Amino acid sequence: MRFLLSYGVAFLLIVGIGVWMASGTLVQGGQGAGNGERAILDVLELPEDSGIRGVLEQVGLVTPTEPTQENIDVATEEPEAEAEALQSVRTQAFVAQDLPLTVSLRGNTKASATVSIRAETTGILKTRHVNKGDHVKAGDLLCEIDEGTRKAQLAQAKASLAKAELDYSSNKTLREKGLSPANSGRQFEAALEAARAAVDGAQAELERTVIYSEVAGIVQDPIAQPGDMLSAGAACVTLVQMNPILFSGDIPEARINAAAIGLPVTVKTITGQEVVGTLSYVSPTSNTATRAFPVEVKIPNDDYAIRAGLTAEATAVLGTVKAHLVPQSVLTLDSEGTIGVRAVLDGTVVFHAIQIVRDTTKGIWVTGLPGNVEIITFGQEYVIAGQKVVADNISDEKTS
């Protein structure tokens, strides 16, 4: 029973305190309402901009605060403070320039042709007039095959021709005198033509024993040695044509439409030789493995200084494109990971996606920007597209 009484008294005390606090008045020194009385929640000194105080003011538990001149002044100064809080960036003006659009090719030099000078008749090689490495011109004597009986055959053919001419002449005289049938002349005329053909054949066979070069070039293996038996079609000497010499490489499929026959191409060999040639061949089909198209560049080589088989690089100018030369430091990424630059237009940050065309020691050539653009060079990582900024342009100090 005493237990229930104790809890009952405690409960009544709590209810009484709750009613007193709900009245919202704290009496100090018994001065009465308006003379020292303060709202209990005011004693808590909630901030005026507190969300809790606003709710309590709406339900009537806290007296609304009257606006003061100080509060009005602070509210008036907020727009000016906001203007002063704009992010400052440094910008520089860049102007588009004509950039030669080039493509670099790797490949090697090669002879423009390899020609085998072959025998046209069978026989033993008697003399070879050139050696490996010799430079020859068209018409130079290269090889001599032993004549064998060819001179005797020619002499016999000539003798047969002389007899046929004599027989034809005698028959003609007899026919004119009526001592021989008129149609007998056909037989002697045919014999005469056959004798003439035999002479021509024997003469040509004898001439085939001497082999001349039909092209200019440098002697290279395989070559026949004196004493070798050469059959018709066997190589006596092999020539490589080195002027002009060729550069062979591959052009990427993305640039193939710009490749045109006659296009100037600068070729630099691994030995440091540099010369300008012209594009002479573009393959109609690509390499199935690389998807690149084989091309050939014809290079003048009057002094034969450029050798075949050298590793080389070729640079072809495929045209021009409008581009900007910008420092690498201005490149950034947007929220989607697109590479580009941030610029300022009418006080607002804009993002321009770019494509890198060429990387140089002076900067990076890029496309995708307006002709004239004010790029943020300092502070681009602290702003986003659409943000208002204060731009300090340094183009007067350092231009592109």
Per-residue tens of pLDDT for the chain, all 400 residues: 555 556 665 666 676 666 555 555 544 444 455 555 555 555 555 555 555 555 555 555 555 555 555 555 554 555 555 545 788 899 999 999 988 878 888 899 999 999 999 999 999 999 999 999 899 999 999 999 999 899 899 999 999 999 988 988 888 888 887 777 877 778 888 888 999 999 999 999 999 999 999 988 999 988 999 999 999 999 999 999 998 999 999 988 887 887 888 889 999 999 999 999 999 999 999 988 888 999 999 999 988 889 999 999 998 887 788 899 999 999 999 888 899 999 999 999 999 999 988 888 889 999 999 999 999 999 888 888 999 999 888 764 444 4
Return the SS3 of 324.
strand
Pick from 61, 25, 67: which is nearest to 46 by CA?
A: 61
Q: Where are the domains of the chain?
A: 87-96+322-393, 147-208, 238-320
CATH of 147-208, one of 1.10.287, 1.20.1070, 1.10.3470, 1.20.1260: 1.10.287
CA 105 to chain centre: 8
CB 69 within 8 A of CB 291: no
CATH class of 238-320: mainly beta
CATH 2.40.420.20 applies to domain 87-96+322-393: yes
pTM of this prediction? 0.55
Return the SS3 of 306.
coil
Beta strands in the chain (DSSP E): 87-95, 97-118, 123-128, 135-136, 141-145, 210-212, 217-220, 229-230, 235-251, 264-269, 274-282, 293-299, 311-326, 332-333, 339-345, 348-353, 355-360, 363-367, 372-378, 389-393
CB 346 within 8 A of CB 387: no
